[in-house]
Amino acid sequence: MIWTPHATVAVVVEDELGRFLIVEERSSGQIVFNQPAGHIEEDEAILDAVRREALEETGWDIEPENFLGLYTYKAPANGITYYRFCFTGKARRRVTEELDTGIIAAHWLSLEDIRELGDRVRSPLVIRSIEDYRKGRCYPLDVITDSQT
């Protein structure tokens, strides 16, 4: 069996009231909460994947601002290792109410509200990345070199 890494993107988006853009979605028969996130498609530039996933899952036009970090997570449910390229971004405007299959709704929640979701948070990386963001962790987008851009 050939091991294939799963490359994903996620984006931490905070509004002017200190709330974060969170997606309520169905995953493996459960309702869970996550940042706008998903797999990078073949031949897709990483920053384009951030914009696409945010739009598909929330209806918001998101502009990536900084690279937050690369997070590794092995999901206990399926044993798959995910490499999560996490970014910060700004919500420019809501452009559609239509959301991707499996997405229930997009919410603006405080970090306290997200913590109260407990085991309904899709992975520990959701809270970890918000905490890293609040600590001021950020890198310029040009640390990402992408032959697609």
- What secondary structure letter does DSSP report for 59? S
CA 56-61-64 angle, to 5 degrees, is: 105
Percent of residues, the chain, with pLDDT higher than 70:
98
pLDDT reported for residue 148: 55
Taking phi over 0 as left and psi of -120 to 50 as alpha, with beta for the rest, 133 belongs to alpha
What are the structural domains, with CATH classification, of the chain?
6-142 (3.90.79.10)
- Mean pLDDT, all residues of the chain: 94
Percent of residues, the chain, with pLDDT higher than 90:
85
pLDDT reported for residue 60: 98
Contact call for residues 60 and 95 (beta carbons, < 8 A): yes
pLDDT reported for residue 75: 84
pLDDT 10s digits, 9-56: 999 999 999 999 999 999 888 999 999 999 999 999 999 999 999 999
- pTM for this entry: 0.93
pLDDT reported for residue 122: 93
